[in-house]
Amino acid sequence: MFVDKAKVFVKGGDGGDGLVAFRRELYVPEGGPAGGDGGDGGDVIFRVDEGLRTLMDFRYQKHFKAPRGEKGRNKSQHGANADDLIVRVPPGTVVMDDDTGEVIADLTRHGQEVVVAKGGRGGRGNTRFRAPNNPAPAIAENGEEGQERWVVLELKVMADVGLVGFPSVGKSTLLSVVSGARPKIGAYHFTTLTPNLGVVDLDDDRSFVMADLPGLIEGAHAGVGLGHEFLRHVERTRIIVHVVDMSGTEGRDPFEDWVKINEELKLYNAKLAERPQIVAANKMDMPDAELFLEEFRKQLAEVSPETEVLPISSLTRQGVPELLYRVADLLDTLPEPSALEEAQQAGADEAVVYRYDPGNEYDFTIRRENETFVVESESLEKLVKRTQFGSYEAVMRFATILRNIGLDAELRKRGAKGGSTIRIGDFEFEFFEGGAESYLYDDE
C-alpha cells in the first residue's frame, strides 16, 4: 500500500532535574554544595533514508517521544544527556506544523535531517547557585520540558519524469514497457490510484526515474477526484511527459484534453506551467490516430509552438525509444537543484525549530477571570515548571524574581490583595502583601 500523508505527534525529551547535594568527606568540614546539573533531553530528528518509498510506517506508530536526560549527580557530576530519537522518512517528505501549517522542512536528499522537536535543557544543580552571600544553597532546578507538537508529513514522489494525462490514456502501459515497474493496468478509469515509480535504463548507460501518476480530471486543482493527492507529486518532477490519447476514443478531443490538463496544473501551481513538457501522442496504432495527430499539431502550434509532440504506441512500442532518448537529452540540459536553494531551505527549517534562549525577558500580561488574576507569559510558565517548590530557598528565589520583574507591583495596580489567587500556567498561588507565596497547588 502506498501512503503519502500522515499526522504524527513528536515530543523532545525532558531535561533531567538538577540535584541538591553537599560534600560529605572525612576531614572536609562544611564541604559546600556538590549537586550536578541534569542532562539535556533528546531531540526528535527526522532523517531521510533513500531505502524508504512510503509513509506506511507512520500508520502504525503515530507517537515519537525522545528519552529524558538523567538527573544530576553528587560530587558535582553532570547527568548524562539523552540520546536523540532518529525517525527515518523517505526522500521527498515535507514536514509541516499541524497548528500553523508552516513548513518545517522539505527533506529531499539521503541523510538530510532536521530537528522537529527539541529536547529540554537540564536543570541546574545547587553548585550553580553558590554565591558569597549564600555559600551553601539548597536550590536546584527541574529539567525543562521538551518541545511537543503534532506534525503533518506529506510525501511528494521524487522522480525525474512525471507522466500526466487523463485516466486511461496509457500512462501505466508506457511505464511498464520502458521499465521494470509493474503497475496495475485495466481498461477502466482510475486504474492507477497511487503513484508508481520505474527506473528507465538506456543503452548509452543513461538512466532516469519515471513516475506514473494517477489520472487527472477537471477541477483537480480544487481537490476534485484525486485532486491534490495527485498534484503534489507533479511538483517534484523535472520534466512532464503529457500522455494524450490520439485515438479519440470515447468521443474525446485530444487537444481539449491537453488544454484541460495544463490548465489544472497551472491553477494548482503556476510554476508547473514553466516546467519542460513533451507530449507523447499515444495509441498511434489505432484507426484515425494519424488524422487526429495532424489536427492536434495544427492547434498546438497556435498556442504553444515550442512544445514537442512525439507519436508513440505503448502497445506496439512504436516511437517509444525515440521518446526515451529525447527525455534523457532534455534531462541532461537541466540543472540539478541549486545548492544555494537547499542551504536557504535548511536555514528556514532551522528558524522554525525550537531553541532555548537564556536571554528571554519575562514579558507578561495580566487578565481577570472572576476573582483570579491570570498571568500569561511563556517565560514565566517555564520558570514555574523549573522551580522545585519543595525547597524553601527555591520558593524565595522564585518570589524574588517575580518581584524584580515588576509582577508584584503590577498585580497590586490591578487590584490584587492579600489572599488573592494568582494563576501562572497550570499553577495557582496565594498572593501576599509581602510578595512571597506561601503555598502552591496544581490547577489540574
Residue 407's CATH number: 3.30.300.350
Mean per-residue pLDDT for 20-24? Answer: 88
Under a CB-based contact definition with an 8 Å cutoff, are residues 76 and 34 in contact?
Answer: yes
Does the residue 60 lie in any domain? yes
Q: At what angle do helices 254-268 and 289-303 cross, to 10 degrees?
A: 40
**216, 318: one domain:** yes
**65, 94: one domain:** yes
Domain count, the chain: 3
Does the residue 253 lie in any domain? yes
Contacts of 164 (CB under 8 A, 6+ apart): 171, 213, 216, 234, 240, 241, 242, 243, 261, 265
Mean per-residue pLDDT for 85-113? Answer: 90
**166, 236: one domain:** yes
**131, 178: one domain:** no
Does the residue 351 lie in any domain? no
Domain boundary among 155, 184, 211: 155
pLDDT in tens, 294-344: 999 999 999 989 999 999 998 889 999 999 999 999 998 887 654 334 444
Domain hosting 256: range is 161-333
Q: Residue 95: what pLDDT?
A: 93
pLDDT band at 349 (very low <50, low <70, confident <90, very high): very low
Under a CB-based contact definition with an 8 Å cutoff, are residues 205 and 298 in contact?
Answer: no
φ/ψ of 420, rounded to 5, equals -65, 150
Q: How far apart are CA 382 and CA 67, in angstroms?
A: 19
Q: Residue 339: what pLDDT?
A: 38
**77, 166: one domain:** no
Domain boundary among 333, 356, 384: 333
pLDDT band at 152 (very low <50, low <70, confident <90, very high): very high
pLDDT band at 15 (very low <50, low <70, confident <90, very high): very high
CATH code at 241?
A: 3.40.50.300
pLDDT in tens, 201-258: 888 888 888 887 765 544 433 444 443 455 666 777 889 999 999 987 777 889 998 9
Looking only at the bridges linking them, the beta strands covering 113-117 and 44-48 are antiparallel
CATH code at 133?
A: 2.70.210.12
Please calculate the CA angle 206-211-216 and round it to the nearest 5 degrees. 145
**56, 200: one domain:** no
Greater model confidence, 47 or 389: 47
pLDDT in tens, 33-68: 999 999 999 999 999 998 887 888 898 899 999 999
Q: How far apart are CA 133 and CA 197, in angstroms?
A: 70
Domain boundary among 125, 155, 185: 155
pLDDT band at 136 (very low <50, low <70, confident <90, very high): confident
